[in-house]
Amino acid sequence: MRLSGRQFARYSRHLLMDDIGVDGQDRLLNSHILIVGMGGLGCPAALYLAAAGIGRMTVCDADVVADSNLHRQILYRQGDVGEFKVDCAKRALQEVNADLVVQAYAQSVSAEILDGDYQLVLDCTDNLAARGLLNRHCRASRLPLVSASAIGWEGQLLAFDFVRQQSPCFNCSITQSKPEAATELAEDCSSAGVLGPVLGVMGSLQATTAIAMILGYFQQHGELQRYDGKSGRWMNVTLSTNPNCQLCCGSKVDV
pLDDT in tens, 186-229: 556 666 799 999 999 999 999 999 999 999 999 999 999 999 99
At 243 the pLDDT is 86
Residue 159: inside a domain: yes
Residue 61's CATH number = 3.40.50.720
- Total domains in the chain come to 1
User: Of 206, 246, 222, 125, which Cα lies nearest the Cα of 169?
Assistant: 222
23, containing H or E segment: helix 21-29
Does residue 249 carry a catalytic annotation?
no
Would you call 81 exposed, middle or buried from its count of C-beta atoms within 10 A (0-12, 13-18, 19+)? middle
Q: What is the mean pLDDT of residues 76-102?
A: 98
**226 within some domain:** yes
Q: Write out the residue range of the structural domain in which residue 148 sits.
A: 31-249
What is the Cα–Cα distance from 219 to 159, expressed in whole angstroms? 10
Average pLDDT, the chain: 91
CA 199 to chain centre: 11
Tell me if 219 is assigned to some domain: yes
**Strands, E assignment, the chain:** 32-36, 56-60, 101-105, 120-123, 145-151, 154-160, 223-228, 233-238
254 or 190: which carries more pLDDT confidence?
190
Question: Does a structural domain hold residue 13?
Answer: no
Tell me, yes or no, whether 3 lies in a domain: no
134-143 confidence digits (pLDDT tens): 999 999 999 9
The candidate with the shortest Cα–Cα distance to 61, out of 81, 77, 38, 40, is: 38
H-helix segments, 83-237: 85-96, 111-114, 128-141, 170-174, 181-186, 189-192, 196-215
Annotated catalytic residue, options 88, 189, 245, 248:
189
Q: Which residues face 105 on adjacent strands?
A: 60
Residue 123 DSSP SS3 = strand
Q: Under DSSP, is residue 215 helix (H, G, I), strand (E, B) or coil?
A: helix
Whether residue 63 is contained in a domain is answered as yes
Is the confidence at residue 47, as pLDDT, over 90? yes
Q: Indicate whether 68 pLDDT > 70.
A: yes
